[in-house]
Amino acid sequence: MLRIGLTGGIGTGKTTVSDMFGKLGARIIDADVIVHELSSAGMPAYKAIIDMFGPDVVDESGGLLRKVIRQRIFANAQLKAKLEALLHPLVRAEIDRQVAENSRPYCIISIPLLFETGSAYNIDRILVVDAPQEVQIARACGRDNADREAIQKIINLQSDREFRIARADDVICNDADLASLQAQVNSLHEKYMQLANDRRIPA
């Protein structure tokens, strides 16, 4: 099974790229979705998060106030590290479980904070989606209605472009239109199909 870890900064186009791979037949596994599921009421991380942050991070219906949690960890690096230590082993295990049950030729595993969290994942290649900062800001602002200062703060906290690119096996440059993006995804899809196929044939 070929496992591609997909990452990139905020607003670079990770979701758009993974949707394109999904339409071409790849299995998509999303670490953010897994975190969301693991921390839903009754799921493995739910109670531990409430114990860590206190009862005021729960709304009337029992759901976690994720925005409040995000604000708290933004302001407290120790708390952030503690939350990551709780979540990452669970996320890794769930990714591995989903990979094991996959029957498609390859998986795209979206891990937005692949470099920031320092966690080791079972992946074969790293695919980075890259875009110039101005493009990141414009796209993230356009999508979330956020102001550019807020996006800039997040960019400053994330790994820089050169760091990511230096560690990538493949890079998608998303600085133009969607047709250009689709063409790059198509060509990587061919490459990954070939690599997946090569693995199936015993040497």
Please give the Cα distance from 103 to 151 (Å, whole number): 38
Contacting residue, 174, 184, 192, 196, with ligand ATP by CB under 6 A: 174
Contacting residue, 10, 107, 127, 188, with ligand ATP by CB under 6 A: 10
The answer to whether 69 contacts ligand ATP (rule: CB under 6 A) is no
The answer to whether 189 contacts ligand ATP (rule: CB under 6 A) is no
Contacting residue, 3, 27, 88, 139, with ligand ATP by CB under 6 A: 139
* Helix or strand holding residue 34 (H, E): helix 31-38
Give the CA distances from residue 84 to residues 20, 51, 78, 148, in Å, rounded to whole numbers and listed in that order. Answer: 29, 15, 10, 27
Q: What are phi and psi of 68, to 5 degrees?
A: -65, -45
Stretch that binds ligand ATP, among 14-22, 47-55, 66-74, 191-199 (CB under 6 A): 14-22
CA angle, 144 as apex, 142 and 30 as ends, to 5°? Answer: 115
CB of 112: closest distance to ligand ATP in angstroms?
A: 6
The answer to whether 105 contacts ligand ATP (rule: CB under 6 A) is no
**Which of 159, 160, 144 is CA-nearest to residue 67?**
144
- Give the residue with the Cβ less far from ligand ATP, 86 or 185: 185
The answer to whether 5 contacts ligand ATP (rule: CB under 6 A) is no
The answer to whether 182 contacts ligand ATP (rule: CB under 6 A) is no
Stretch that binds ligand ATP, among 48-56, 158-166, 176-184, 190-198 (CB under 6 A): 176-184
DSSP code of 113?
T
- Give the residue with the Cβ less far from ligand ATP, 105 or 184: 184
Q: What are phi and psi of 12, to 5 degrees?
A: -75, -20
CA angle, 98 as apex, 125 and 203 as ends, to 5°? Answer: 50
With contacts defined by CB under 6 A, how many residues of the chain interact with ligand ATP? 17
> What is the greatest pairwise CA distance in the chain?
59
The answer to whether 112 contacts ligand ATP (rule: CB under 6 A) is yes
**Which of 26, 11, 29, 13 is CA-nearest to residue 121?**
29
Contacting residue, 181, 185, 188, 196, with ligand ATP by CB under 6 A: 181
> Which residues of this protein are in contact with ligand ATP, per CB under 6 A?
8, 10-16, 112, 139-140, 142-143, 174, 177-178, 181
